[in-house]
Amino acid sequence: MKIKKQDNVIIISGKDKGFKGKVIEAHPKDQQVVIDGANLIKKHIKSQKKGEKGQRIELPAPIHVSNVAFFCQKCKKGSRIGFDIKDGSKKRICKKCSNEI
């Protein structure tokens, strides 16, 4: 999985198509990422103490990595990520503009 935590991504399909955000969690085993502010679900929480009310909170749910693309700041578009090996070090690059990430 080439998308990592703290990457800026754009959602390319689904109900939040076109949303740009930052990856807050990556689950490589499941091929899913959690994006801050996208794919929000409502979770019902029971009251913990007597006299306290229950509540509904919104949490971001995971999205499959095939539904997001890396958002390049230089070319201002979603693109794929490639790798470039120079001087024995492996760097991630934008496939469209060859800018180092």
Domains of the chain (ranges, CATH numbers) = 8-48+55-75 (2.30.30.30)
Q: Which of 97, 68, 89 is nearest to 7 (CA)?
A: 68
Of all helices (H) and strands (E), which one includes residue 48? none
Of all helices (H) and strands (E), which one includes residue 80? none
Q: Which of 42, 35, 45, 26 is nearest to 8 (CA)?
A: 35
From CA 99, how far away is CA 70, in angstroms rounded? 12
SS3 23: strand
pLDDT for the residue 27 = 96
- The CB density around residue 92, as the number of other CB atoms within 10 Å, is 14
Mean pLDDT taken over the chain = 93
Q: What is the pLDDT of residues 29-71, one digit of tens each?
A: 999 999 999 999 999 999 988 888 999 999 999 999 999 999 9
DSSP state of 99: -
pLDDT for the residue 43 = 95
From CA 71, how far away is CA 80, in angstroms rounded? 9
From CA 42, how far away is CA 45, in angstroms rounded? 10
pLDDT for the residue 87 = 87
Q: Does this model's pTM top 0.85?
A: no
Mean pLDDT of 75-87: 91
